[in-house]
Structure 1
């Protein structure tokens, strides 16, 4: 039996990036560590498995890091939400707020089957805007949000409130900056 992996210690913090006062959570160190990567995917799958998702959705670009591995672990598909103009087929779109402005995600109209149970995934939950846009895309497509799974949660930013009434789980919560 392998000893448990401390995921928090596998995540490098970069102070004052991208601007002073921000402690950037760098997951590249976790991704480079095979034990931490495996533990992260297994931990997310352990949460999601009882939800019985048919598909996992992740947002460009950081939702693509663990999303496909999580989908494979769950035995389901992975669909991607991308920035406008990046998907070649007809799309639905959701606009969401950023700290200074707005952004948009698009999803192929046929990516989520009507009635499909969808696990919303991203590497980080901050204010909840990106994940709320993913939930909107799922619902516009006729799917059901089964739950929301994140590697990291910046709990002090209260992104969970933007995702109500959906169930939210994060492997590594940060209660303060």
Structure 2
């Protein structure tokens, strides 16, 4: 069932109202943005899926990449709704077979993500989907990984951006002109 047509502002309000703040999680001083109430609400989940699927189609995407772990939850229904394939970007060591990997820096240390080497090709246009853009490290690494696979980046779409962490400044240069969609800025 398709959600009634809504303006971007109405969609943002609907989604924002269903994101719960959890203070001091996972550690003191952090305010975790819990999307489980949004996921449990069929109206909000449908509106989110529709908005991101429309963006994927408008960008000519052929595949949707979802970033571990909540990007899987959002990216898979977006791919289905848009009639596209879905490719998970996983933490290193979680995929069997030949993979491509990309390391990236964290505040204290580094991390690594990977995809199956055969899941993307030079004919693919890939939309990256995630729940939140915070510091931008994982999204930046995913964009670099997609380009290294030979595929084109169709864009980046996130449910929410934590603007005070300036992740946008990190990903826009790597997007290299590809569009960026954010439904809610916090």
Q: TM-score, normalised by structure 1?
A: 0.92
Note if 1:66 corresponds to 2:74: yes
- Pairwise CA distance, 1:70: 0.5
DSSP-derived class of the 2:46 partner: helix
Aligned length: 174
Structure 2: give runs of 5+ residues left out of the alignment.
none
Give the superposed CA RMSD: 1.5
Structure 2 counterpart of 1:153, from 149, 161, 164: 161
Aligned to 2:91, the other structure's residue is in SS state coil
Deviation of 1:114 (Å): 1.2
Regions of 4+ moved over 6 Å: none
What does residue 126 of structure 1 align with? 134
Moved more, 96-105 or 31-40: 96-105
Distance 2:148 2:53 in 1: 25
Gapped runs of 5+ residues in structure 1? none
What TM-score results when the alignment is normalised by the length of structure 2?
0.88
Question: Within 5 Å, which residues of 2 pair with 1:7-156?
Answer: 7-156=15-164
Shift of 1:19: 2.2
- Residue in structure 2 matched with residue 172 of structure 1 by the alignment: 184
